[in-house]
Every structure is written in C-alpha cells, then in structure tokens.
Amino acid sequence: MKNYIVKLLAMVCCITVISCEAYLDEDPIGLITQNQINTEPTAASITSTVNSTYQLLSSTLNIVGQWNWDDGTVTRNDFLLQDIASGDMQKKWNPDGDQAWMDEIAAFNFTSMNPGFNGIWSYNYEGISRANQAISTLNNEEVMSSVQMDAATKDRLLGEVYVLRAFYYFDLVNNFGGVPLLTEPLEDFADAYDVANRNSAEEVWTQINKDLQEAVTLLPAQKYSSSSEPWRVSLGAALAMQAKVALFQENWSEVINKVNELQAHNFYSLDDHYFDPFDVSKEYQENEVIFSYNHVSGVNPARGNGLAALMGWGFVAPTDDFVNAFEENDPRLGYTVQIDEQQPNKLLGSTDGNYKGNEDSPGNKVYIRYADVLLWKAEALIQTGEVEEGLQIVDQIRTRARNTQMVDGSSTPSDALPNYAGTGMSQAEALQALRHERRVELGFESQRFNDLKRWGIAEEVLSDLGKNYKDFNNLYPIPQGEIDRSGGQIEQNTGY
C-alpha cells in the first residue's frame, strides 16, 4: 500500500484512488523510493535519488507513463507553453488535426482540461517530489552516518537538488501563480490532504530564494561541480538562477549584482560561434552553457532527446512572424531553423538533420547560457537609466552573431547587425532593441512567452498575431484534475 501512496503523491494532491490518470499505475522512470532509502541506504542509492531529480528537466519521451498524449506527459511541454504560445513556433510545418490540444494553446482557446497544463504540472511536481526525497535523506544525520559519503560530496549533492527544486517551483509559479508548496516528502493520505491548498505566489518566491541561497553556500566554487560529470548543477547555475529570479521580480539592482558576482568567477564567456552552445560535438567543451540537461544516446533508462522524434513527424516549425523578426543577413535564423530543410537545428544539436526523427538523439536541452545572462544585465542597466552601458552589452551579442558565418558556410556581411551603442537611443528605444535581441538570440529556447508576460506586452503582441489572448491568460489554468482531486481545496485561477 505504501508504494502505491508514494507513486500517487509524487504527482501531488492526487488524494483519491478513483479518477487518477493511468500513468500513475507505473513508477516514473528512474525513481528510487523512500522505502529503498530507509531500508537500503548506500551512497549509490542516495546519489541515484539525486540523479533521478534531473530527469524531469529532460525532453526524453515517456519519463512519466507511456504515450499518454491525453495527459500531456509524452514529453516536457516547455516548447508548447513558451515557444508555441508566444507565436514564435507553430505545432507543425503542415498544420493538421494531430494533437489538436496543442492548437488550442497556440490560439489561447483552451480550458483547464487541456493536457498541456497537466503535463507541465506533473513533470515539475514529480521533480519536486524527488528533490524533497533527496533533500530529506541528505539532511538525515542518522542515514548519512551509515553510508560512505564524504562531506564535500554530500554538500554538493544537496546544493544540486536545492537548485533543481527552485527551478521546478520557478516554472510552476510563472505558469500558474501560487501553487501548493511542498518541502518535505509526503508519507500518507493525511499529509496529502494537509498540503492540498495553494500557497501564495509570494510564499513560493520566498522558498525559491531560500533554496538558491542554500545552494550557493553548498556548491563548490568551480565551473563544473564534478569534473567527471560536467552536466551537474553548478555554482554558476545557482547564481544565474538568483539573477533570473531578481529579473522576474524587477529587482534591477539585484540582477546587476548577481550577474557581476557570476562574472567575477570567470567561468563563462560568449562562444566565438553562435551555434557552439547547441552543437552536440562541443557539449561541455564550450564556454557558454550554464545550465542544461545532458541528453545521451544508447543508455538505459533512456536519456535521449525525444523532441527530435517529434520533428520526424513534422512537429516544431517557425511562424512567419518569427522568421520575419530577423534582420537581413542575421546568421542566427539559419542556426535556429533551416526552413527549406524543415530542420530546427538548435533543438537537434546539428545542422545536417542527422538526428531528425531519432527519439534517442544526444542534443542537450539548454536552459541557461551566458548570452541570456548578459541580456538580463543589459536589461537591468537600461531600466536603471544606464542606457549606453546596457546597449554595449547588447552589442556584444550582436557582434558575436555578426562574426559567425552563415549556416551554409558563407561569410556574414560585415555590415550586418550594426551596433546600437553610440546611436543616441532613448531608454524606450533601447528597451525595444533589447526585446528584439532577446527574441532572435534566444529563439526556440522556451523564453519568449515569459518575456512577453513580464514586459506587460503579451496582450498587445499576441492579439496582433490573431490570438485570443486576454489579461487573465497571464497565468495558465490549474489542471482541472488537480482541483477535482483536492476536493475543491485548490482554487482555480481567475478567468477559467
């Protein structure tokens, strides 16, 4: 019975036996249960618990359940809730009725029953469940004293899962606002009833900041937390997440302070070539990626990039509006997506279409890279009146793009992407330039919809694209199944 409860509660607030989704009848891939930790504590099993916490960041297919399109759990849905919702991406190159629920999100004609919301909720809360389990174990002195793990390794692992839990809550609070806040493993149904309530968004942000601050004190002061496993969360990722939290709360001085703190470590720099952070052949050998999920081919459990499989079925295409946003001779368009070949290169990790249709492809999912961080700082500087200094940073990004050859190997014209600094831009014009630069630099990286919302321009931009966007769509609806299973204790967002 207890194993069933653990599986049930891992998805959060599923507190009745009836009506639970079919995928809950199977253990999510890679899960080490608390029973195993309690009865068989070893350094390896504890490390496995930490490692399993990463899995919910992946684009691997069927991490939760098997081909449950109707639950939105076939793969992680960031590309849908960010890129497609924002008008940068469309579902398919040749639109059809396949997975019509995705079209509903694209048009903002959805209800709280749409699988996309259940999918991201499920992935994030499964990640939180695993993080809570790992944190509880690593902080359990009795358990840790019985295993052979040195203090430095324990601290590093603890710092990793604090960042991961903060990331999952960051995604939840931006998608849904206030959500149930769980920081301890759930043991029984009584615990589930106790937590089946929404905490305020402010409380969630407070917990995110607390977790990130804990992580900063625990992670080693080096670029890679583990030289043998460079994919692990690092101090740089923790500091970058702190800067990103400050950005979303419009705490401009803190954004600048945190980016400066990150830069002082000298871990990262812009790669010479725009595509290097995404190139499979250069993973963990380049200088720009700060936080990513390490997709690997040919391992069990699977860790391949399943989005590449969807591309083989015609999914993931640019909108005309996205393509038209690029300035003439901007090489970044071709590296993001090659239109004639229908290849989203950035998501495939190659420019030859080699991995298209391969559900076990090795292209990593990049969540934070240094160019993104630089643009946070540029935005904060412009917002605080340091317009020229901010534009100089934007120009670093444009210069790198200008110095990157076109995807076909030809040279990018030297007069492409001229600098902004020194042109006498006003603060308003500089902000417009910054927003443009973020769109083309970070296209298809699941940043755009959050940007539109935090800038307060989502309704204007998306209405102009013909979407049925309303103010209340700033938050997505809580999945209706979660509200039903909580017995109505979880309240729905306004407008749904």
Q: Which is nearest to 339 in space by CA: 357, 360, 353, 355?
A: 353
Mean pLDDT across 387-410: 98
State mean pLDDT over 448-459.
Answer: 98
Cα 346 off chain centre by: 15
Is pLDDT larger for residue 274 or for residue 187?
Answer: 274
In the 8-state DSSP scheme, what is residue 150?
Answer: -
Choose among 442, 416, 418, 415: nearest CA to 331: 416
pLDDT higher than threshold 70 for residue 24: no
Please report which confidence band the pLDDT of residue 196 belongs to, taking 50, 70 and 90 as the band edges.
confident
Domain with CATH 1.25.40.390 in the chain: 1-219, 243-455
Query: What is the third-level CATH fold of 1-219?
Result: 1.25.40
Taking 50 as the threshold, does the pLDDT of residue 131 lie above it?
yes
Cite the beta strand spans of 390-445 per DSSP E: none
Which pLDDT value is given to residue 39?
60
CB neighbour list of residue 97: distance below 8 Å, 6 or more residues apart: none
Can you give the pLDDT at residue 189? 59
95-104, 283-292, 336-345, 480-489: range with lowest mean pLDDT: 480-489
What is the C-alpha to C-alpha distance for residues 494 and 490, in angstroms, rounded to an integer?
Answer: 13
- Average per-residue pLDDT for the chain: 92
Band of residue 35 on the pLDDT scale cut at 50, 70, 90: low
Report the phi/psi class of residue 52: left, alpha or beta, with left for phi > 0 and alpha for psi in -120 to 50: alpha
Instruction: Kindly report which listed range (26-30, 41-45, 122-126, 453-457) carries the lowest average pLDDT score.
Output: 26-30
Q: What is the CATH number of domain 243-455?
A: 1.25.40.390
> What are the tens digits of pLDDT across the range 53-104?
999 999 999 998 899 999 999 999 999 999 999 999 999 999 999 999 999 9
Long-range contacts of 227-231 (CB under 8 A, 24+ apart): 230/284, 231/54, 231/284, 231/292, 231/293, 231/294
Mean pLDDT confidence for 146-160? 96
Share above pLDDT 70 across residues of the chain, in percent, rounded to a whole number: 91
Mean pLDDT, residues 445-473 taken together: 98
36 burial via Cβ count (<10 Å: 0-12, 13-18, 19+): middle
The pLDDT of residue 22 is above 70: no
- Residues 340-387 pLDDT 10s: 999 999 999 999 999 999 999 999 999 999 999 999 999 999 999 999
- pLDDT reading at 145 higher than 60: yes
Whether the per-residue pLDDT at 396 is higher than 90: the answer is yes
How much is the pLDDT for 138? 97
